[in-house]
A and B are shown apart, each in its own frame.
Chain A
Amino acid sequence: MSYYLGLVQLIGIHTLLGLSAYVLMLTGQLSLGQAGFFAIGAYSAGILTVIFELPILPALLAAAAIASFFAFLVGFPALRVKGLMLVVATIAFSEFVRLFFFNLSWRVPRGDIEVGPDSTNGFREIRFFVANGWSAWEITAFVWIFVILVMAALWWTDRSRAGAVLRAVGEDELAAQSVGINLTAVKVTAMTAGGFIAGIGGALYAHTATYVDHLTFTVLLATFAIAYPILGGLSSVFGTLVAVIFIQGVLVEGLRFLGDWRNIVFGLLIIAAMNLKPSGLFDARTAQVLKRAVGLGGKD
């Protein structure tokens, strides 16, 4: 049972990671910096609960705020580059963050042991949930409360003018500027929001895993972050969730029995999915079919 709950937690955390990239992709920014923000969230929250002995909720919110602050700073230089150049620049950021934590050693005595990030050995003592006697069910519920809150906030934003403005910037920056949209403000805001969401994800990850090290936050994680919204499509936040379930639930976990063949089949299935559903697994048509199936049927 705990294996499945662990998977459900992981799906929730990766959904947050994917949504952090989704917000940026709405404005046309493809960022591999999400792994960096996720790492900042994870280490900050861990340091706050372990070294400063804060409860999880304030630690998580503070970690998300720290991650969003760095995203805000990254947002300004990121304005100057687009497309592949932005991808390269944000990889550099993620690697910079990873190497920072690779070198970070901040040990404090706690009883007869030392706790805190221990550079190459990782950060091993993030045991807030265990120490406070949370059950796996409670942890899972805690993770999903944030997933649902973030999804609801983004879903609602998408129906507001702010959502239309994000998409307008993603569709045509020149036209958006010309109708009076402040590109700098919109793109930096999206980057900051993305950093906040990734920070929440990282904070939850550190505490469910109880252990993080720099190898958790490689470019592979950043690739997953953008793969989810690319595969799920940008028509709705649910696309990212569907893509995470498909990749983490079906491909990564479901194909384990294939052994080494898994990675090959994994790649093939992604190629197939992108060819069969070029605008995402959860595109406008899927949404319509689903709506009809549950009897809503209204136009949107």
Chain B
Amino acid sequence: MLELRGLSKHFGGVKALDGLDLTVDEGDIFGLIGPNGSGKSTTINLICGVYGETAGTVHFRGNLMNGKPPHTRLRAGIARTFQNIRLFPNLTVWQNLWVAQNSSQDVSAHGFLPRWFGATRRTRKEIARLLELADLGHKGDELASNLAFGEQRRLEFARAAAARPKLLLLDEPAAGMSRQEIDNLGRRIRRMRDSGVTILLVEHVMELVMGVTEQIAVLNFGYKIAFGTPGEVQRDKAVQEAYLGTSASKSRPVDGSA
């Protein structure tokens, strides 16, 4: 489904990502974790074409994606959400989903004029379905900026789903969410996968990552330091050091007793 080979991104002398190899299989919920600044968001931005890679390749369903702009990759089936929510704040909830009707089916199914200047019954039905899925059925006419935080997250998720993606990149979708909202999010992610969408989940909230993913890759300082099932990753020595610190910091007493 998704294959990254030797993927690197350098910003001047900073190696945000250095030679990442990663394979995500179709139908997986794949977790990508690591401390702050380890290259997770950079990886997402490289996969969907916001950044150009310094080196390496991105293959999606067998096709080389290097050099293709984000909107082309979206049409190929790669959609995303953002770490800090990026809706169109002064458009209504309905319009946010309307402008996102850009899947390859949408582009070919409508003629030029209805696509740009009308809203066909099919489009209206599709948007109504997305609103229902996001529990925003009664908020279609609300400005996106007037939504509560959790609702904004759900709208962004629905907006990504509007493209009918085959691969969905979720960049810290649980940030700032309550316990209950995280549970709901977990269910949404599973439901999405069950409908045939492969998921790449970047997340700091471990209960979500460990709860929903089948495979996890761990990044640190731009390198992949571990790969495996949630259980394997949790027992991995390098991962524990990356998150909890190495022996140098262990030697420092945490409380007076040491």
Contacts and interface: CB of A to CB of B under 8 A. Distances in A.
22 contacts: A157-B117, A160-B116, A161-B98, A161-B99, A161-B101, A161-B116, A161-B118, A167-B88, A168-B91, A172-B86, A172-B87, A175-B82, A175-B87, A175-B88, A178-B86, A179-B79, A179-B102, A179-B159, A179-B160, A180-B70, A180-B100, A181-B71
Interface string B213-234: 0000000000000000000000
A121 interface: no
Give the dominant DSSP class at B's interface.
loop
Given A160-B118, A161-B117, A179 B100 contact: yes
Contacts of A299: 141
A202 B197 CA distance: 53
A172 B116 contact: no
B163 interface: yes
Given A161-B118, A183-B71, A184-B69, 5 more contacts: A164-B95, A168-B99, A175-B88, A177-B71, A180-B103
A171 B48 contact: no
Interface of A: 156-157, 160-162, 164-165, 167-168, 171-172, 174-184, 299
Counting chain B CB atoms within 10 Å of each CB, which of A168, A178, A299 scores highest? A178
Interface residues of B, number: 34
Contacts of A181: 71, 99, 102
A299 B142 CA distance: 11
B48 A165 contact: no
A176 B50 CA distance: 11
A182 B90 CA distance: 20
Contacts of B86: 172, 174-175, 178
Contacts of A178: 48, 50, 70, 74, 79-80, 82, 86
A167 B116 contact: no
Contact of A177 (B50, B95, B141, B163): B50
A184 B72 CA distance: 12
B189 to A, nearest CB: 19
B168 to A, nearest CB: 12
B175 interface: no
Counting chain A CB atoms within 10 Å of each CB, which of B80, B82, B117, B159 scores highest? B117
B119 interface: yes
B252 to A, nearest CB: 41
